[in-house]
Amino acid sequence: MNNKSVSQFSTKQICVTAVMVTFIFLMTIIPRIPIPLGYAHLGDAAIFWCVYFVGRKEGVIAGCIGSAMADFFGGFPIWILPTLLIKFMMAETFWFVVKGNIKQGKSFSFLLIIGLVLALLVMTVGYTLFGAALYGSLEVGLMSAPGLLIESAVNIIAFCFLFKMFSRMR
């Protein structure tokens, strides 16, 4: 097999990803606020920070694993597989929208806010639909949407704070 066709992780990338998994896990499990079908947290802001400042591969993988671990240890094991898929789609959506900003080294922009909003809409729709499927009722799934939208707004604010704080260090 050709080595160029296989995306490899360096030892440094593995270590950084492991630290980011821990960061995302802690940001997801510690500030937990109950909402219908789950809990609100700051883990999404941590995922976006990782994707933006650490890198796409590391951020996406850490986001999926850290969030799934929080579901497992937080008492929501039924959500592990949906979380893996939803966080992957959320992080990839964010990356797709903001990758030009990252590559050009641009600071805060309107495009960054669009990326956050679109990614969090993907997350909200994903959890709403999976909630409807898991519990056999669209109404039950929709019960989580208001809490997820509020969580999204809080995560946008938290990311903006992290962005401002860490962009000076970049």
Where do the domains of the chain lie, and which CATH numbers do they carry? Answer: 10-167 (1.10.1760.20)
User: Bridge-partner residues for 40, per DSSP?
Assistant: 33
Only one residue has tokens 């949407």, namely 145
Residues 6+ apart with CB under 8 A from 132: 138, 140, 141, 142
Separation between Cα atoms, residue 103 and residue 94, nearest integer Å: 14
Q: How confident is the model over 105-162, as pLDDT tens digits?
A: 777 789 999 999 999 999 999 999 999 999 999 999 999 999 999 999 999 999 999 9
Q: What is the DSSP string of 47-88?
A: HHHIIIII-HHHHHHHHHHHHHHHHHHTT-GGGHHHHHHHHH
Q: Which carries the bigger pLDDT value, residue 110 or residue 36?
A: 110
Task: Give the residues across from 35 on adjacent strands.
Answer: 38
The model carries a pTM of 0.91
The answer on pLDDT for 5 being more than 50 is no
DSSP string, 141-161: HHHTHHHHHHHHHHHHHHHHH
Identify the H or E element spanning 3: none
Confidence at 36, pLDDT banded by 50, 70, 90: confident
Residue 1: pLDDT over 50: no
Whether the CB-CB separation of 47 and 67 falls below 8 Å is answered with yes
Percent of the chain whose pLDDT exceeds 90: 76
Q: Average pLDDT in the 2-20 region? A: 81
